[in-house]
Amino acid sequence: MSNELRNFLSLSYGELEEKNLSAKAQRMGRVAAHKIQEERLKYLTDTKEIKAVTVLFSDLEGRLHMLDYDKKFLVKSYDNLTFDGSSIRGFTAQRESDLRLGIDWSAFYWGPADIFGPGKVLVFGEVIDKQGTSYSADMRGVLKGFAQELHAKEGYTLNAANEIEGFIFAGIDAERRFPETGKFDYVNTGGYYHSLPGDPLRTFIDSAAEVMRAMGFENEKDHPEVAPSQFEINYGYGEVVAAADQIQIYKLVCRQVATKLGMSASFLPKPVVGVNGSGMHTNVSISKEGKNIFWDPQGEEKLAKPGWDFVDRILTHGNDICLLLNSSVNSYRRLDPHFEAPNQIKASAVDRGSMIRIPIGNEKSMRVEVRSVAPDANPYLVLYSIFKSGLHGDTAKIENLRQAQRYLPDNVYTAIENFRNSTWTTKLLGEDVKARYADLKQASADRCPRLLGTFVKAQEVQFHHEVYNQYLWNQF
């Protein structure tokens, strides 16, 4: 169809940023849900140039799913959007397949037309079960409910920011083709902070950063990372559910931009042996009445007692929740002490081999950094397990807990065993969801060689939960 006959929404990047920041301010300000819903429905109705609404949700492993609804249909039927849950790994069995999608109107985004297509807007969905309540395996809904309950009861706002590393490889669908090629090809061999203007890695970083800025991420800095062809784009803090949503959008944007440039963005934790892997350092804090409760100028490392209690509980449950923070076979290659791996279950202000670091901070920025998180983990599950463990977990009776020489698992089988045997993970997820998650991880592990060895095996990538290969997944 000729472009002259189309009249779909296509805003400048400046206009997009203005709209997304306005929506973000409403969300941060906790504007009443019914008011935002009314405003968004009116906007969709009045804006004739919008043709479709992309609704996003994530499965139990963190894989992002997207459905495009015709705008006119969505406006009329937004309260009765059904889908087949049995087709989503970790959701319902075939005999109980009907689920519904609610709309979280506060999580509404305007995306660039050159990345997402003209005439489209994006919004996150909430998975709802037959009883009309939040579905137990939808970790976004679980995280949102937990955060809302803490705000109502304690006045807490849970804050998070994630430093997400990834690789750019030559060619489209490099991960999917790995079992055939047996290798990933770099687009840049410069290393930390080093790329020439206009080289493929810098072109990708600049392009992705522009999209993120337009989508209201409030960028801070971006740069090549330590390994060849590795990147990181940093952005500001957010309320915990919004922060998890941004992780999903970040990865989606990176993949879209890379594909348009004829490359692949990979969030495998350790796609290449012999160089640094990719992490997702997770910075968290808690505020009450606008004050950071982790800050104490007189505290050890200026971290207040509630912050140290938070740290101690996470350290106590480090092995219990390791599978939630490092969810793939490949992620255990990253927990290698030869490459600044955060595999020691201790806290430190300076030792980057520690599971938890206490960065330099002030009254506004004081935080706890959980370093042992892989970028392919379910972001909602990661943030839920960190905050729930840090606030409501146990504290081990171990002398010098913060300096104890204990280590995270070096393989997925040990992590699965720790997860299954833990009473804490049952409290976190409930028996049903815990069993589903463990079974999914076991299925992936059993299709890979038991020993990691010295090179990345085809099955590590082939059966990785983020690699698009539906034919193979249906053989599970």
Written as six digits, the tokens of 367 are 């935080």
Contact 109, 123 (CB under 8 A): yes
Return the number of other C-beta atoms located less than 10 Å from residue 458's C-beta: 14
CATH fold match for the domains 3-135 and 156-473: no
CA distance 112 to 57: 20
- Identify the band that residue 214 occupies on the pLDDT scale cut at 50, 70 and 90: very high
- Identify the band that residue 8 occupies on the pLDDT scale cut at 50, 70 and 90: confident
**Model confidence over 127-148: pLDDT tens digits?**
998 888 889 999 999 999 999 9
The half-sphere exposure of 473 on its side-chain side, counting CA atoms within 13 A, is 16
Per-residue pLDDT for 330 more than 60?
Answer: yes
Region 46-55: mean pLDDT is 94
- Identify the band that residue 224 occupies on the pLDDT scale cut at 50, 70 and 90: confident
Higher pLDDT, 119 or 190: 119
* CATH 3.30.590.10 fits domain 156-473: yes
* CATH 3.30.70.20 fits domain 3-135: no
- Identify the band that residue 473 occupies on the pLDDT scale cut at 50, 70 and 90: low
Per-residue pLDDT for 208 more than 90?
Answer: yes
Contact 372, 281 (CB under 8 A): no
Determine how β-strand 120-128 pairs with β-strand 52-58. parallel
Smallest Cα–Cα separation from 354: which of 342, 336, 368?
Answer: 342
Per-residue pLDDT for 453 more than 60?
Answer: yes
- Tell me the C-alpha to C-alpha distance, in Å, between residue 476 and each of 24, 303, 326, 415: 40, 47, 21, 21
Smallest Cα–Cα separation from 109: which of 56, 158, 160?
Answer: 56
Nearby residues of 227 by Cβ (< 8 Å), 6 or more positions away: 167, 191, 272, 275, 276, 277
CA distance 109 to 263: 25
Q: Which percentage of the chain shows pLDDT scores above 90?
A: 74
Residue 261: Cβ-neighbour burial (10 angstroms; 0-12, 13-18, 19+): middle
What's the confidence (pLDDT) of residue 40? 97
**Domain segments of the chain: what residues?**
3-135, 156-473
Determine how β-strand 156-170 pairs with β-strand 368-370. unpaired
